[in-house]
A = this chain, B = another copy of it.
């Protein structure tokens, strides 16, 4: 699937609002979570490992969300509480692309703007708009951040599936985990009080 055929996918869309974070802000944030060049290289390696496993990874994540009522609620109609299949499917296409994007991110202004937009889509300021759905109107910040854990730990078996040495798998997994938390933190930006982020 080409990215242009994924509805609502906007990495590289120059009409997105700019992130309030500068490249220097991103650099100090990366330093704080020990995210360095070796992690970028390990993620590039991970791209080749996971690119043909995206659907299997999404099956695990959707299995977790689907079996966790307080999370499934955010994909369910706010009134009837029935899961919205078309919404789940639309998010799934972008989520699959996000796995690949996380492995080869450029960390440039376009990437920062896209992270800010992803944050808004979890927050009440932008949730449901992209897909025109009537789901729960806001995902609390604490869950956006906490989901970094399942999105990280479940990745390890997939990274280990192509016969890489244990140390390489560890390096890819550590880089993945930091990259996920980095993004979850960027997604929490619209939740923070003015000047607090």
- B-binding residues in A (CB < 8 A): 28-29, 31-35, 68, 70-71, 123-124, 138, 140-143, 145-150, 153, 174, 178, 181-182, 184-186, 188-189, 191-193, 195-197
A150: which of B33, B141, B189 is its contact (CB, 8 Å)?
A: B33
A146 contact set on B, CB distance < 8 A:
29, 32-33, 181-182, 185
Most chain B CB atoms below 10 A, which of A35, A123, A195, A196: A196
Residue of B nearest to A30 (CB): B146
A-B contact pairs, 18 of them (CB 8 A): A28-B70, A29-B143, A32-B71, A32-B146, A33-B147, A33-B148, A138-B195, A141-B188, A142-B185, A142-B189, A145-B181, A145-B188, A148-B181, A149-B178, A181-B181, A191-B193, A191-B197, A193-B193
Which 4 pairs of residues, A with B, have the shortest CB-CB distance? Answer: A33-B149, A32-B146, A33-B146, A191-B196
